[in-house]
Structure 1
């Protein structure tokens, strides 16, 4: 199913926003992991993940989101996930991750 994943990073005054476009799967997940972990460690700000252009995410991608959240909590920061499409929001609900992340 491997598609491309594009990531646009925007540093805001109190947070860093990353907009995801495409698909997160086993083929694109390493790049995403490096990017998210690097953002959290270097900026030490809240992380906003904008998923309005995200079409697909698998369990590997969900695991990376959880890992980024754990890293953010080390700095007492949060991860907010916004603009989830219905099919992806359903995945967060089924896995219980809607209770772990702040979803807007």
Structure 2
């Protein structure tokens, strides 16, 4: 059996603040806030969203592939997030551990072309 990601959710403490952060970093747009208190990211592939924390700890393991990883790092830092220095290119590409301005962890990935 195989499985692919079909939907992802970033669990955050403040969904409105997170929507502002990711709108500025990745130019995302969002649906109206849903009954569960979160937003659907319009046009994402696979589909995904931002939702409220359901426990004291969020454990997201998501990597986003921006058009330009260096621009994304700059945007993350300028919006109050953190991005480690990108490692050298590996045979699979560049991976950068990041966190948004609320401490929600995610990564950036730039595959080898």
Same fold (TM over 0.5): no
Question: Structure 1 length normalisation: TM-score?
Answer: 0.29
Structure showing greater radius of gyration is 2
Question: Structure 2 length normalisation: TM-score?
Answer: 0.27
